[in-house]
Structure 1
């Protein structure tokens, strides 16, 4: 029995050390996110990150050799979480779903992720991001365009692949431009910018989508997604 107890204790100690290490890494990554957001990636330093985390630089170097390694680890984790987010946000929709509902649901999920993790925008769109993160950004961008194309293919029946790709790029470009404005504001003003972003996307897509099942009003003339009458053709 004593041997069994010692064996269990021997196994528990590495697990406890591993758990402490994971907590320390999470602490350092959160501190790095705060520093990157406040100063930008280029101006940030390992000393500033350690100070924000409440640890010594020596402790930080036990886990990360430099600032770039911290940014890469943080970026990898955020990209993984973002991939899960866009999987939900850009899931296939029923063709009869109102355009504003489909756009609103996608925008809300992406905005929620970016406002919860503002450092994602800092790392992915900064002027001097590490090459590894730039590669991740390019891969994520390509995947997002592909998923948006899949979503639009449901809404834009009989549209050529080239047109779908172009439309997907325009939608993503509009979203990124709007996101920068959203993140630059808070409270009611931020909500107003989110509404404007949705409005821009809907008004861009509405003429392309045209009349679909479920989009005609009681008069049969149909209405666009802002409630304005659309002339029947």
Structure 2
């Protein structure tokens, strides 16, 4: 390859590095100041570049927020593709909850800008719309997981349980994000305990074989509830703090 061919490639690589630098700076600024109070000047200053350099890549703060949100959503989609699997659905309930929630908790801890953008009262409409699509996709995956684990649940039951579980997790995740260290760990344990105690009567607590045989068509809610009352597995008991 000639030197003339290499030059455009080097310029493209430098541009990609600069964009990544600006997005990382924007994430820090959004988390510190919130989206509303943030500015392109603050982002450029955080990135260590001039405002003119920033404007070579982004026309305004909204464009930066949209690009940052798009990248984070792509990473989140890759995460939920790894956790909502039939194999995880059949795990003992405490391990299932760990397998599904831990990656999302870790993701949000590593990328607090996600919540900072969503909670901004004047977040760009594109950001809000994309997150609504993401949430709908996540809710659908939770519903599919319930179908694998407890096929006898009716469509209406699955939808209701999925919505309640997802809403509980989102609310708990907000609390988790507000704390650090042991306090954060305590909220994580309580969140998992809430999910365990809510889900146990519907989907049972033990591992599920690939072709479960159920005693009736009701979902065996009463039997599962009795099992939950008799005591949770070690992992979930530890999660509940009791």
Shorter-chain TM band: 0.7 to 0.9
Shift, 1:123, TM fit: 1.5
Shift, 1:96, TM fit: 4.8
Corresponding residue for 2:23? 29
Could you tell me which of 40, 43, 55 is aligned with 1:49? 43
Shift, 1:154, TM fit: 2.0
The answer to whether 1:97 aligns with 2:104 is: no
Distance 1:9 1:178, change over 3 A: same
CA distance in 2, matches of 1:214, 1:140: 28
Corresponding residue for 1:225? 232
The answer to whether 1:167 aligns with 2:161 is: yes
The answer to whether 1:75 aligns with 2:66 is: no
Shift, 1:95, TM fit: 6.1
Residues 95 and 212, structure 1, Cα contact 8 Å, conserved in 2: no
More helix by share: 2
Shift, 1:226, TM fit: 5.1
Give a deviation string over 1:54-95, Cα, whole Å, max 9, x none: 111010000000000000000000000100001112112366
Distance 1:56 1:9, change over 3 A: same
CA distance in 2, matches of 1:214, 1:176: 26
Could you tell me which of 112, 119, 122 is aligned with 1:118? 112
Q: What 5-or-longer segments of structure 2 have no aligned partner?
A: 210-225, 238-242
Distance 1:110 1:94, change over 3 A: closer
CA distance in 2, matches of 1:157, 1:10: 61
Shift, 1:172, TM fit: 1.0
Shift, 1:97, TM fit: 1.9
Distance 1:211 1:42, change over 3 A: closer
Corresponding residue for 2:171? 177
Distance 1:211 1:203, change over 3 A: closer
Shift, 1:209, TM fit: 1.7
Could you tell me which of 179, 194, 211 is aligned with 2:188? 194
Residues 92 and 151, structure 1, Cα contact 8 Å, conserved in 2: yes
Q: Alignment length, in residue pairs?
A: 217
CA distance in 1, matches of 2:90, 2:10: 53
Q: CA RMSD in A?
A: 2.0
Residues 32 and 49, structure 1, Cα contact 8 Å, conserved in 2: yes
Give a deviation string over 1:178-216, Cα, whole Å, max 9, x none: 11111111111111111111111000001112375669x
Q: What 5-or-longer segments of structure 1 have no aligned partner?
A: 1-6, 216-220, 229-233
CA distance in 2, matches of 1:113, 1:18: 29
TM-score (norm 2): 0.84
Structure with higher Rg: it is 1
CA distance in 2, matches of 1:131, 1:137: 10
Distance 1:60 1:163, change over 3 A: same
